[in-house]
Structure 1
């Protein structure tokens, strides 16, 4: 066989098959057989020619210690060469592939139109016909359930649309004489649909009047906004018109809870028993079970023969598209009795409001609370053939940010008078907004009884059209800021004051940290001449020169990008970067003042917070809030700064700050947004993904062969590090480099 044919076969194999050819021993033998049939000569001489040609083509190629690889030349070692260049799925270095692409382009440019008549193309076609034209006669090792599971898992991991999912199923069907998987969206929906008990509650968008749950043949025309006469032809037409109405969705929590409990039971994740909270060490706060709210719940509602489970809910808006005002407001449900890891990763979806406006919380939360109340009467969950639990569900907490907390609690929003959720501090109007200076006497705290009484008084005043004061402060003071009674108060286990959790991620990280980062940026910008540029550049250089460990997922960003910092980045800046980065750039009195907040948060974020830690943090936060007016002015006495005075009360009432955080619920919002593929039918898309994931858990339980598990795990897991030397005392990561010994070492 001539050298030209050897080079041609070598290049065709590298270009046409790449790594896959080097990974298949069967194809290696086919190529060698093709060489011997069409070129003659001995196998050893041919292999030697190929190997020598490969070494001249790729200067970076390293010889393998494996004798088999050496004997087959570049056809086999191409896989190792690509690995050495870092070509992997984890974003490794792609230098090897880029070099090959450049060589291909150069050769294509040199050959020009000769490629169309190159005789090696016919050789390539001949090799394809010899190796790929035969019907597949390999035995099938997977069942139909295994195939369905693998297609579902692949669609989930790749975030496929419904069409992409059906196309994958049809690809599998095309390999068989008869279809083995559903061939259409309709059949797939019928197969995978689980009765989730979804309820569509319709309402009038103008007057927010509830029109009820959808039923076939029922009129959805709002009679308040569009009254019609009885027994007329027009009235019958009006009744059958369902235009200009909107709806929100309430999901069935029982089915979701059953699937989660079954999955965690197999993983041997145990539920916390509420009565055990009464035996925990006093004065130490290690989780939410040590707070006063949960201990009171354990005394009042725990039972011996029933699995008592408590929920913490959250609702917050999240925009869907940048070019539209549409947003979703999901109700996420967290199971308090799970350990922290499973607690954050196994959120349930209780409801979904979508539209261009904020939800009417009375309309949205009333049917959801009624469902929770019905679940408190008890129901049965079948864990397996030998075990079933009687379960009772109770609402315990509500974790929402300041923007939504006022609407859910039915008090003034955070921009109005008497808007504090836990105290009756009035606030003062200065600099165009309500501010909250420190008072010599502590303002009275809200109680459950007073809040409900004031809420009922406000509702009665509106119903009777009572004339209210025109002054905003007087009108708010008349009912202590109450705007009604929250529907969550219908649950016997929920306290409309103590049941609301101070969500520190939005308050401290996204609120205070971002605000003071802007103040310091403006402070450095006010410097004159080169001093301003030097200090800003030095601060950014300090932030970018930091190399945090792998546990800190995000690298620090410059101060100009502070608006884009998420809650985790703000937390890292507060706890780890801010003090050393600001040293020498702003006056020391500001750094010392900031250190009070940093130290207080360090104490309240410990795994084991003691009463002494709470008292120390309370003192630090009190000094911090008192010094704000002197250092920064009254305009910085914001609502978030006032909430710092309640932070230690929150720990005593609930938990360390990390035990319940808005970060987990924000992650849930991101998961829901990734499920939306089109602008129409958003609730249906989310609902379909919800019951498909539930069906996937059931199918995974029924059809999990070893081969299927390997395939599914390869989709879910990240690629492991391929290069490294691991010893008991030290691990060396990356590609090895040969170093010459120094003169002293030699």
Structure 2
């Protein structure tokens, strides 16, 4: 009895003490029980409500919350409407779609994914873009839209327009975007908690934040493996090996690397991230996507289960620090069964290597190959999160998208500077002597087509190479691909257009033009004029990087070269490059613009193959034998790979290279690097899962809702503007004006939006009477529930189209236009897309998905 009485008195004393004082004492000595903290916070909220004069009446409280939310909406100047102009749900309208510069623009493995900051604060992009001001500064606008998913749904504080879950996910996205240290994250959490009103529901410490996201962190799946630090020989799992020298070389140096269980990760994606729903939603994807390719459909016939998975994988390295030799290598996969617009959400790391030496792929891939063999035979067992039904999904990884050095090591053939080094054919190549100690391998156009490599021929060549200890047509021995289920040496290698075309061919010709002094094609003397032209460009939010200074071309990223190739090069080079070289370059632009479309027919593939073959052949005639590089030769095989695996945009390494850059930025310490990255990856994985589930419906389907942003007051209309509005709307006394709008997840601006400096999102393409038109939005208008835009027309001038003389083909995605004084009012529903204004031209994107990959 005395003990019970004593415990009751202690509990009573505890209730009387200030929650903040008790919390500090408990945090000082250990972990606070969650139930105790929740009781304290509830008491504090009740006290705060009484002090602020709020009542306990539920109807009154609900009314106050609505008023509070309406006031917050007004502060941000945003009104949301459905597809037909009917006002939509305020919480669901901000879908945070594809309105920003995409971090998929990172490449080369040395970039963190968001260094394209213009420093202007006008970039209305999503959380992957650096400029945030254009969207009101939110890292992610579309939080809290999924009706069936709740994450920390309690209000952040009394009458707050946001929930605790919304605040937490934004802090976590800030952590992953800017790669801040965990120490900084801990301080940030404490700072936010202390700045919010007393009794707020924001986690008070990093410990409580971890508790809230714990259910979204994958189960412990990291396994440490050991390799010889000298010869790279695989020694086994750390838990299974005994101390001693390497069995192969006798050295005692060891390197540890991490494997993340592929089976555990896939089970997690099914049960915690809604992978099954994403697969169910992917019925009719774009015709050129990998999920509609020949090889994918063949494998789906072989593995017909609805939830059987086909993976695309990649491995690559990045130098982490300039002051040392250490490099980070990742092994990552993406799931081809999901819609392309959410594929980056299902891209994950399955292996990490951090050491002074690059890994031997036979060692680094050993755990991955063992996992794939087991999953191909036995599958992954998982439970559907909604129906509770048990499933078994078989998993195969038949394709790999990597750069040239890794391709050679995987196929076990000569590297790209050796004889017979092409991965697709048996061309030998020639050795070009440039000087006493300078040579290079070139690949002149052969008189007769070289035979293509097949898995049967490479198997015979590998057997002979191993038996006779010789190299046969470039083949040095058995390929590592033969040990991976469904992989083969003939079809599994994908020519990644990021490395092959953008960082290879495009960069090569840019260097020829601007550094090849004394040649017929040299335009380096016009470098200053080209730079002035480039600096006047103002990209859209979806174009994540633009070339600016010609003298800085060595620093250009793959996404910069993409912008140069597809949009900028033709308008920029037209006044300076001789016509025969300009016409030749147009062949590459035409060929790649066909291959990067959403829909590609068999005739389109034949045409693209013809154009790229012409480009390769004419290069030898115009630029000489020294220009016939390995990348240029492989360009002639790009259409073959496209027939097998789909358009280059759907299987490129952009998403993997971006992940590589993000991982390198997350390294802050100097020891236990892989352990540090493992813990950080868990947080990022949980963040991506929460974010994806909060916005699942908008992620999978393009949201038709329209949000009117940035209301304009006291507008003074010109006579022409007033006349155009009256002709369409008749009475304009009750009209409201806005300077921005969000349409299907994309931010559109107008001439009235003054905060835009380095970007330009007011040029549009719209349809009227089934014809395509272009214009400049002056401002947006709402009359009742109807939404309009006042547009200044741009007239297309067909005589100035870029047309290839020999083939008579026109570059259709670049339109020459002339500004007019004609104003017209259009419905927002007639706007089809944004266009990229480049001088006297406007450019349309070739597909809607690439910037989201």
Mark the runs of 5 or more structure 2 residues left unpaired by the alignment. 1-74, 76-119, 124-129, 135-156, 434-438, 695-707, 714-736, 742-748, 756-853
CA distance in 1, matches of 2:447, 2:310: 39
Bigger mean CA offset, 329-338 vs 152-161: 152-161
Alignment partner of 1:726 out of 719, 731, 738: 738
Query: How far apart in 2 are the matches of 1:169 and 1:691?
Result: 18
SS of aligned partner of 2:427: coil
Q: In structure 1, how many angstroms separate the alpha carbons of the residues matched to 2:341 and 2:640?
A: 25
**Does 2:251 correspond to 1:260?**
no
Instruction: Give the aligned partner of residue 511 of structure 2.
Output: 518
8 Å contact kept, 2:712–2:739: no
Deviations for 1:176-214, whole angstroms, at most 9, x for unmatched residues? 9xx986787999899787533212111112222222111
* SS of equivalent to 1:556: coil
Once the two structures are superposed, residues 696-715 of structure 1 have per-residue CA deviations (whole angstroms, 9 ceiling, x without a partner) of 5778899x9xxxxxxxxxxx
Partner of 1:452: 459
Distance in 1 between residues matched to 2:213 and 2:598, nearest whole Å: 48
Q: Does 1:664 align with 2:655?
A: yes
Structure 2 residue 237 is matched with structure 1 residue 213 = yes
- Which residue of structure 1 aligns with residue 182 of structure 2? 162
Query: How many angstroms apart in 2 are the aligned matches of 1:485 and 1:321?
Result: 35
Structure 2 CA distance for partners of 1:158 and 1:480, relative to 1, 3 Å: closer
1:296 is aligned to 2:305: no
Structure 1 pair 147–507 and aligned structure 2 pair: CA distance change class (3 A): closer
Aligned-pair CA distance for 1:666:
1.1
C-alpha separation between the residues in 2 aligned to 1:698 and 1:534? 52
Give the Cα–Cα distance (whole angstroms) in 1 for the partners of residues 607 and 648 of structure 2. Answer: 16
My pick for the range that moved more, 675-684 or 438-447, is 675-684
- Given that residues 220 and 245 in structure 1 are in contact (C-alpha distance below 8 angstroms), is that contact kept between their aligned partners in structure 2? no
Alpha-carbon offset, residue 318 of structure 1? 1.1
Matched residues in 2 for 1:221 and 1:728: separation? 67
CA distance in 2, matches of 1:199, 1:688: 13
TM-score calculated relative to the size of structure 1: 0.66
Q: Once the two structures are superposed, what CA deviation does each residue of 1:495-531 show, in whole Å capped at 9, x if it has no partner?
A: 2220111111111111111111111113467799xx9
Alignment of 1:118-197 (within 5 A): 155-156=175-176, 159-168=179-188, 194-197=218-221
Residue 203, structure 1, aligned to residue 227, structure 2: yes
Question: Which has the bigger relative contact order, CA under 8 A and spacing at least 6?
Answer: 2
Paired residues of 1:526 and 1:532 also in contact (CA < 8 A): no
Counterparts of 2:396 and 2:244 in 1: how far apart (Å)?
33
CA gap 1:418/1:532 in 2 versus in 1, 3 angstroms: closer
Work out the CA distance in 1 between the residues paired with 2:337 and 2:599: 18
Counterpart of 2:491 (choices 498, 503, 510) is 498
Q: Secondary structure, in 3 states, of the residue corresponding to 2:649?
A: coil
Kept in 1, the 8 Å contact 2:121–2:131? The answer is no
Match of 2:722 in 1: none
**1:678 and 2:669 correspond:** yes
Say which of 394, 401, 420 aligns to 1:418: 420
The structure 1 residue matched to 2:254, chosen from 218, 221, 245, is 245
Partner of 2:52: none
Residue in 1 that maps onto 2:54: none
Show the counterpart of 2:547.
556
Identify the residue that residue 69 of structure 2 maps to in structure 1: none
Distance in 2 (alpha carbons) for counterparts of 1:270 and 1:588:
49
CA contact (8 A) 2:276 2:307 kept: no
User: Deviation per CA, 1:24-70, whole angstroms, max 9, x where unpaired?
Assistant: xxxxxxxxxxxxxxxxxxxxxxxxxxxxxxxxxxxxxxxx9xxxxxx
Cα distance change of structure 1 residues 217 and 375 upon mapping to structure 2, 3 Å threshold: closer
Q: Give the drift of 1:683.
A: 0.7
Report which stretch shifted further, 547-556 or 376-385: 547-556
Q: CA deviation at 1:429?
A: 0.9
2: distance between equivalents of 1:628 and 1:310? 38
Distance 1:147 1:509 in 2: 39
In the superposition, relative to structure 1, how do residues 517 and 151 fare at CA in structure 2: closer, same or farther (>3 Å)?
closer
1:354 counterpart SS class = strand
Matched, 1:543 2:543: no
Change (3 A) 1:676 1:734: same
For residues 626 and 516 of structure 1, the distance between their equivalents in structure 2, rounded to whole angstroms, comes to 15
| Structure 2 length-normalised TM | 0.58
What is the aligned partner in structure 1 of residue 768 from structure 2?
A: none
Residue of 387, 406, 409 corresponding to 1:407: 409
How far is 1:289 from its partner? 3.0
Q: Quote the RMSD (CA, aligned, Å).
A: 4.2
Q: Which of these two proteins has the greater Rg computed from alpha carbons?
A: 1
Contact 1:312/1:335 (<8 A) preserved: yes
Kindly state the Cα deviation for residue 578 of structure 1 after the two structures are TM-superposed. Answer: 1.5
Deviation at 1:321, TM superposition (A): 1.4
Does the C-alpha gap of structure 1 residues 426 and 699 become closer, same or farther in structure 2, counting only changes over 3 Å?
closer
Question: What secondary structure is seen at the aligned counterpart in 1 of 2:460?
Answer: helix
SS at match of 2:464: helix
* 1:268–1:416 distance in 2 versus 1, CA, 3 Å: same
- Cα 1:385–1:345 change in 2 (3 A) is closer
Aligned to 2:371: 371
Equivalent residue number for residue 235 of structure 1:
none
- Matches of 2:677 and 2:245, distance apart in 1: 26
Partner of 1:434: 441
1:688 to 679, 684, 694: 679
Contact 1:723 1:735 (C-alpha < 8 Å) held by counterparts: no
Describe how 1:280-291 pairs up with structure 2 within 5 A: 285-291=287-293
- Quick check: 1:676–1:685 contact (8 Å CA) kept in 2? yes
Check if 1:484 corresponds to 2:477.
yes
Aligned partner of 2:37 in structure 1 is none
Judging by fraction of residues, say which structure has more strand: 2
Bigger fraction of residues in helix: 1
Q: Give, in angstroms, the shift of residue 458 of structure 1.
A: 2.9
Contact 2:513/2:524 (<8 A) preserved: no
**Are the equivalent residues in 2 in contact too, given 1:429–1:435 (CA < 8 A)?**
yes
